[in-house]
Amino acid sequence: MAEENTDLILLNTKIAPGESKKLNFSIAKLYTGTKVEIPIIVERAVEPGPTILITAGIHGDEVNGVEVVRQLIAKKMNRPKRGTIICIPILNVFGFLNAQREFPDGKDLNRKFPGTKHGSLASRVAYHFTKEIVPNADYCLDFHTGGASRFNAAQIRIKPNDEKLLEWARVFNPPFIVYSSLLKKSYRATCDNLNIPTLLFEGGKSLESDKHIAKHGVDGIVRVLKHLDMLQDTFETSKPETKSVVIEKSTWLRAQKSGLLHVKVPCNKKVVKGEFLATITDPYGTMRFKVLSPNDGYIINVNQSPIIYQGDAIFHISTENTPISEKEEEDY
């Protein structure tokens, strides 16, 4: 798309080919009057090429994604051989400051896209981001983790029946590629409406930095950059040990009892129907309930909370019979 060797205008700032700029995306202030600025790191090559927008921290408590983008910048892998790379390590700086998923107004930024000019704080940030930043991108990579205590296996989520996105996901080559319907008012849905191919990475859990998950994320970005001939020749791409497992359908296994959860299988494991996955006990030693796998499949999410309620999602398992529903995806 953007292959011409021209100046990039971003936040009213001109960035010429070959230039590097750190911009501050500032939309609102705290109630103390303190400005909250969202750093945007832009690296442009002299040679024309595509523009990739790499984001993390849409949810302020999802540290793994922030670490992925940080490593990319620290290792100078974000300096392209051709084209432009725009990195935003923390989009929800408000939430990051408080180690919280939401904005200070209690809203989930990833449910407020494309936003409104005069709406809530989260909606206003989404609006200006969608209007001023996103349209410059030819491709988007967005990094997330599992919510609360739920640990996600490293995976790329794409909408079903999109062969081009599946091809891009295979280039990234995570352990799992999961078909996931677009959620209304999400960043991914907004990019889809703008016809910008977007890969959503999930890995690890909130408020935890996992070096293995971060490596999956960084390696995936590097493979995508190499595929687009944007990676500098000084960097090498790691050869994947295995091909991604594509999961077209999956289901959440929910707790049938409240109590203490004792998980017996690791995330990523391929299990068989009837396999012993966990026990749920009460604190008094009078109840012990076995959780068994309802079908053959891969465990792609494990609830690592030691205490659960009846109805809580405890495992996300691939299946040939039950599709992911929008409601299940949204609220676990």
In CATH terms, is domain 249-331 a member of 2.40.50.100? Answer: yes
Name the least confident of 16-20, 34-38, 53-57, 320-324. Answer: 320-324
Question: Which residues lie closer than 8 Å to 261 by C-beta, 6 or more apart?
Answer: 255, 278, 279, 280, 303, 305, 306, 307, 308, 314
pLDDT for residue 323 is more than 50: no
Could you say which architecture CATH assigns to the domain 8-227?
Answer: 3-Layer(aba) Sandwich (3.40)
Structure tokens at 74: 């620290």
Do domains 8-227 and 249-331 share one topology? The answer is: no
pLDDT (mean) for 66-86: 98
Contacts within 8 Å (CB) and 24+ apart, 66-70: 66/90, 66/96, 66/143, 67/209, 67/214, 68/143, 68/201, 68/214, 68/217, 68/218, 68/221, 69/143
pLDDT for residue 60 is more than 70: yes
User: How do the domains of the chain map onto residue ranges?
Assistant: 8-227, 249-331
Q: Output the pLDDT for position 332.
A: 45
For the stretch 202-248, pLDDT in tens is 999 999 999 999 999 999 999 999 999 999 999 988 777 789 999 99
DSSP 8-state symbol, 110: G
pLDDT (mean) for 288-308: 97
pLDDT for residue 90 is more than 60: yes
Contact 280, 257 (CB under 8 A): yes
For the stretch 103-134, pLDDT in tens is 988 999 999 999 999 999 999 999 999 999 99
For the stretch 138-160, pLDDT in tens is 999 999 999 989 999 999 999 99
The model carries a pTM of: 0.94
Residue 21 neighbours by CB distance under 10 Å: 17
What distances in angstroms separate CA 326 from CA 11, 77, 183, 330, one per listed residue? 34, 35, 7, 6
Q: How do strand 276-281 and strand 288-292 relate by DSSP bridges?
A: antiparallel
pLDDT for residue 272 is more than 50: yes
Q: Which residue has the tokens 């609360």?
A: 148
pLDDT for residue 282 is more than 90: yes
Whole-angstrom distance, CA of residue 64 vs CA of residue 139: 21
